[in-house]
Chain A
Amino acid sequence: MRVSLDWLSEFITLDKPAEEIADILTMAGLEVEAIELADDDLILEVNVTPNRGDCLSLLGIARELAVLTGKPLKMLPCEVKGETEPGKKIEIRDETLCRRYTGRIIKNIKPGPSPRWLQKRLESYGMRPINNIVDVTNYVLVELGHPLHAFDLNTLKGDSIIIDTADKIYQKIKTLDGIERKLPEDALVIADTEGPVAVAGVMGGALTEVEESTTSIFLESAWFKPQSIRKTSKALGLGSESSYRFERGTDLEILPVALDRATCLLQELAGGVPSKKLDAYPVKFTPARIETSPGRVNRLLGTAIEKKNMISILDRLGFSPEEKASSIMVTPPSYRNDIEREADIVEEIARIYGYNGIPTALPSSSLSAEGIGPMRKFMRQVKNVIRGAGFDEAINFSFMSPDALDFLELAPGDIRRNAVRILNPLRKEESLLRTTIIMSLLEDLKYNLSRDIRSIRLFEVSKVFIRDEGEDLPREPLKLGGIFMAQKTYRFWQKNGEDFYIVKGVVEALLDEFRITGRSFEKCQEPFLHPGKSAKIVIGGKDAGFVGVLSPVLKEKLDIKAREDVLVFELDLYMVIENLPAVPVYGPIPKFPYMERDVAIVVEEYLRAADILKLIREYPSEYIEDAVVFDLYKGGKLGPGKKSLAFNIRYRSGGKTLTEEEIDSIHKGVIASLLEKTGGSIRQ
């Protein structure tokens, strides 16, 4: 809310510099965000929190300053003369939504432009002057915080002003902005005997608008239920200075004051003969009675504020404190509808006492050994392993474009098509929650490539969101995703070999870190990966992710010109957690030495190293401890369709030192078995 200090000084004497006033307000909860210089005036930009609707006016700000500085509030001069019979009656048909409705008729009024001083004040607030009648209602709105509305009397049919919900009768209205609107059934409307003339508290009707030709008006000052106004305003997409205040709750008791104040100003600026006031007040204001225990206030605040000090604060706030033996009975004024229970009183005392006067005390409480917990510890470890492999951490928005699903060529039944849809996305490209991290990482890759960055290793750890039929909330699996592209770089130590193995190695390093043993890499069906250079990551027999080269088709669709492969991986981290091994149990360290033998065999190219290793490990000899593949060779004299794989086999006995002869004989057996089962030959 914009507060002109010049205007504010009509309500309270300001004898302090603007900065000091701003500081006083800020430290009491009315944050002054800026002080603006305007001609010979200073404007405070005050941030009024939603609970303090009473401060959306100069009166409200002045009231706060009076409490904080001890200066008295100034009363506004107002005396309404010459009261005639109104000739209208008020008919409130919904007393819950409209607890009070006041109004009066003013005849022989002359619409015209407002005087410059009034226009300037409206401008200081940020309002556009229209004509003296509308301007006066706005002027009083800023002054007292109470919205008023003026109808052209001659357009109001019949002798009743009806306040009712739209329901079946008042379905449509053409509002001041000239738009024909369909009203929600529970919207509150003001109607005459023929139909609706205003959407209560939100916007007037076009038919009853005050114009240059207007000679008489009906001036409304009413109270509407905040929730109802807010609902209607949201439903119609209409917000105004009036609805903003009604939503935050207005003062039931100020209605006639605001009406009189506006009447006085109108008589001064536009002439006119006012009628007597109409005041329908079916549901009277009943002040809250709140008992407050000073001991409890001090216990909650950690203070030792004396009871009489509390009473003084509450008195300055206008809360009419009554001292009881061990408590204070408080009756908050009608404009403080935010004060409902003891906690509100505690806040008021703390606020006026000053937060900075409250001492600090570190809490003592039972020790907690939980720390950051296993989940956070796990995530830190994951990130550090991947980071150690040279990957920088990316963080992307959780959104995904609906096009991404087709772009990745996901099959119709793919679970990643079960994405959560946002009803009100900022852009269509951000209208789904992502079901995979890969698309975001591909976009990161594009972004960096277009900036001439040639070596890209990025990873991200994030939840993805999978919609489950019949469930309110989606599943939120935790994924680790990565992307890798190494173009020629001027590093001294050059990499060699297939990038696939580098990236697969990163995944293996991670699984090793957590000692995940039951794992394998199987042929992968991901439509967006190179079928021959990709693998499904299987943990504990379940599909836990993938690693591989992006398919050439997608690479072309992404318009990536570079020759090098793009590699991606994704791993379900919850599946890693599920397969974490138990605490290791110590096993004795071998007492006897091992012996090694190497063998290279030439086999058909399609045979897999893992399968041959399996043959070795399954060979019926208790002495085979381990076997690894250490070389792969193709081409040369081997001829097409063939490859040579070299294995190192380690033999050991648990009970004795094996002799060369014993090993040679087992090794020979292993080789014979391998050649037989693979149809291969020994490499010469």
Chain B
Amino acid sequence: MDDLSSIKQSFLHELSLVQGIAGLDDIRVKYLGKKGVLTGKLKTLGALPPDERRSAGIVLNEMKVLMENELALRKQALKNRELEKKLASEALDITIPGNYTPPGRLHPLTQTMLDIIDIFSAMGFSVEEGPEVETDYYNFEALNIPREHPARDMQDTFYVSDDVVLRTHTSPVQIRAMQKRKPPFRIIAPGKVYRCDADISHTPMFHQIEGLMVGEDISFSHLKAVLEAFLHRFFSPDVPVRFRPSYFPFTEPSAEVDIGCIFCKGAGCRTCKTSGWIEILGAGMVNPRVFEMSGYDPQVYSGFAFGMGIERIAMLKYSIDDIRLFYENDIRFLRQF
């Protein structure tokens, strides 16, 4: 059976030379077709003596299986190569930008507000809203700022009539919330406020977030803890926080809350006016007079309130040095955040 091994040799050689799937069929016909080389050999089996026929049959069949396997392998290889070629010819310049609409940006004040709201919301505060055009009663009287009170000088007010103002702070929402809700509750009220003031560091409209928590045993300790937790979450867990006495007609005791200057780490710089501290919010225990005016018994209920300016916090967060940038709506500014 010497010629069998030479048949195998020439089969494998021819197979390796084939470049297309069509060529494989020629080889299949040549070796395994009806008049193929191996088929011819198989036909000669009948002429052999029975004892030889069996062993020769096994050998020839093994050869047939081998050839079929080799043909299949070669076919797969050729198919792969053709696919690769096709894919290579279809390749794109992947550095050309994708076809999409670049998303717009939320205003930095909105982003700051969302961050603050989310922190307080996680602490169980609900969001409350109130009108921007307010009555003198809600904006001043009910907050213990009667007419002819010097505290009215703390805020330059836009008047619509004798009794109607553009709210000068978000604090009137405290009163509206107390009328609407039953203690215990904790709310925040974000929104626009207005003051008759425009210079390098003031705009006639700006944003505040007010907070109010009322219950039966709310203390100054709670106020400190909640605001410290907020400031640590918003700025950084190790920013120093200090509380110092101040005055707001609607809280008593009142506090001004400072954080250690995030720029100079307390060493003193321009932003903190060399003091090492930055004033960040006002707060205090709800003045019993405010409770009384809203029909709450100050012997039963206590609470704390706080308020902060969003512009100031956004300026610190993003190192913005001019408040007016927020309202110019220059797209080159808006797209930075």
**Interfacial residues, chain A to chain B (CB-CB below 8 A):** 26-29, 31, 33-34, 49-52, 226-228, 230-231, 247-248, 299-303, 341-344, 346-347, 350-351, 355-356, 358-363, 365-368, 370-373, 375-376, 380, 383, 386-399, 420-426, 430, 433, 444, 447-448, 451, 453, 456-459, 462-463, 465, 472-474, 476, 491-493
Choose one: A360, A430, A458; the contact of B221 (CB below 8 Å).
A360
B288 lies within 8 A of A341 (CB): yes
B188 to chain A, nearest CB (A): 9
Residues of B close to A347: CB separation below 8 A? 245, 252-254
A420 lies within 8 A of B133 (CB): yes
Residues of A close to B278: CB separation below 8 A? none
Bound Cα distance A362, B224 (Å): 8
A448 lies within 8 A of B331 (CB): yes
B150 lies within 8 A of A300 (CB): no
Residues of B close to A456: CB separation below 8 A? 331
Q: Is the interface of B mostly helix, strand, loop or mixed?
A: mixed
Bound Cα distance A330, B220 (Å): 22
Bound Cα distance A29, B251 (Å): 14
B69 within 8 Å of A (CB atoms): no
B102 within 8 Å of A (CB atoms): yes
Could you name 25 residue pairs across A and B whose Cβ atoms are closer than 8 Å?
A26-B244, A28-B245, A49-B246, A347-B254, A358-B220, A361-B222, A362-B222, A363-B218, A365-B186, A368-B124, A372-B127, A387-B103, A387-B104, A388-B104, A392-B334, A393-B110, A395-B326, A397-B205, A421-B160, A423-B160, A447-B329, A448-B331, A473-B135, A492-B99, A493-B99
Which listed segment binds A: B15-23, B52-60, B151-159?
B151-159
B243 lies within 8 A of A355 (CB): yes
Which listed segment binds A: B26-34, B76-84, B225-233, B259-267?
B225-233
Which of under 10, 10 to 19, 20 to 34, or 35 or more describes the interface residues of B? Answer: 35 or more
Residues of B close to A448: CB separation below 8 A? 329-331
Residues of A close to B198: CB separation below 8 A? 426
Query: Looking across the interface, which residue of chain B has its beta carbon closest to that of A390?
Result: B101
B141 within 8 Å of A (CB atoms): no
B164 lies within 8 A of A492 (CB): no
Q: A248-B150, A390-B102 in contact; A425/B158 too (CB < 8 A)?
A: yes
Report which residue of A247, A359, A394, A444 has the largest number of chain B beta carbons within 10 angstroms of its beta carbon: A394
Bound Cα distance A52, B150 (Å): 11
Bound Cα distance A491, B96 (Å): 10
Residues of B close to A459: CB separation below 8 A? 104
Choose one: B105, B149, B203; the contact of A392 (CB below 8 Å).
B105
Q: How many inter-chain contacts with C-beta < 8 Å in the A-B complex?
A: 252
Residues of A close to B273: CB separation below 8 A? 33-34
B142 within 8 Å of A (CB atoms): no
Residues of B close to A344: CB separation below 8 A? 252
With contacts A380-B114, A383-B110 known, what are 15 further pairs, Cβ within 8 A? A29-B244, A34-B273, A50-B150, A51-B151, A51-B249, A300-B220, A346-B252, A347-B245, A358-B224, A365-B184, A375-B127, A387-B104, A391-B104, A422-B166, A447-B328
Choose one: B114, B217, B247; the contact of A299 (CB below 8 Å).
B217
B120 to chain A, nearest CB (A): 9
A340 to chain B, nearest CB (A): 9
Bound Cα distance A227, B252 (Å): 22
B332 within 8 Å of A (CB atoms): yes
A392 lies within 8 A of B331 (CB): yes
Top 5 A-B pairs, shortest CB-CB distance: A302-B221, A29-B245, A302-B219, A49-B247, A347-B253
Report which residue of A51, A228, A346, A389 has the largest number of chain B beta carbons within 10 angstroms of its beta carbon: A51
Residues of A close to B114: CB separation below 8 A? 380
Q: Considering the complex, which residues of chain B in the window 180-202 have a beta carbon less than 8 Å from any beta carbon of chain A?
A: 184-186, 192, 194, 196, 198
A198 to chain B, nearest CB (A): 20
A69 to chain B, nearest CB (A): 16
B106 lies within 8 A of A355 (CB): no
Residues of B close to A373: CB separation below 8 A? 126-127
Q: Considering the complex, which residues of chain B in the window 271-289 have a beta carbon less than 8 Å from any beta carbon of chain A?
A: 273, 285, 287-288
B161 within 8 Å of A (CB atoms): yes
B256 lies within 8 A of A383 (CB): no
Bound Cα distance A397, B329 (Å): 11
Residues of A close to B154: CB separation below 8 A? 50
**Interfacial residues, chain B to chain A (CB-CB below 8 A):** 96-97, 99, 101-107, 109-110, 114, 117-118, 121, 124-127, 129, 131-135, 148-151, 153-154, 158-161, 163-164, 166, 184-186, 192, 194, 196, 198, 203-205, 213, 215, 217-222, 224-226, 228-229, 242-247, 249, 252-256, 273, 285, 287-288, 298, 302, 326-332, 334-335
B124 lies within 8 A of A367 (CB): yes
A27 lies within 8 A of B132 (CB): no
B222 lies within 8 A of A457 (CB): no
B104 lies within 8 A of A426 (CB): no
B194 lies within 8 A of A472 (CB): no
Bound Cα distance A388, B102 (Å): 8
Q: A424-B158, A458-B329, A473-B133 in contact; A365/B124 too (CB < 8 A)?
A: yes
B160 lies within 8 A of A420 (CB): yes
B326 lies within 8 A of A362 (CB): no
Residues of B close to A350: CB separation below 8 A? 220, 245, 253
Q: A390-B104, A392-B104 in contact; A231/B148 too (CB < 8 A)?
A: yes
Report which residue of A52, A300, A301 has the largest number of chain B beta carbons within 10 angstroms of its beta carbon: A300
Report which residue of A346, A358, A392 has the largest number of chain B beta carbons within 10 angstroms of its beta carbon: A392
B124 lies within 8 A of A395 (CB): no
Residues of B close to A386: CB separation below 8 A? 104
Bound Cα distance A534, B256 (Å): 52
A389 lies within 8 A of B104 (CB): yes
Query: Looking across the interface, which residue of chain A has its beta carbon closest to that of B98?
Result: A493
A453 lies within 8 A of B331 (CB): yes
Bound Cα distance A463, B129 (Å): 12
Bound Cα distance A241, B252 (Å): 27
Bound Cα distance A387, B204 (Å): 27
Query: Looking across the interface, which residue of chain A has its beta carbon closest to that of B188?
Result: A372
Q: A363-B218, A459-B104 in contact; A398/B124 too (CB < 8 A)?
A: no
B253 lies within 8 A of A346 (CB): yes
B332 lies within 8 A of A453 (CB): yes
Bound Cα distance A341, B228 (Å): 29
A390 lies within 8 A of B302 (CB): no
Query: Looking across the interface, which residue of chain A has its beta carbon closest to that of B157?
Result: A424
Residues of B close to A395: CB separation below 8 A? 107, 109-110, 326-327, 329
B212 to chain A, nearest CB (A): 13
B70 to chain A, nearest CB (A): 45
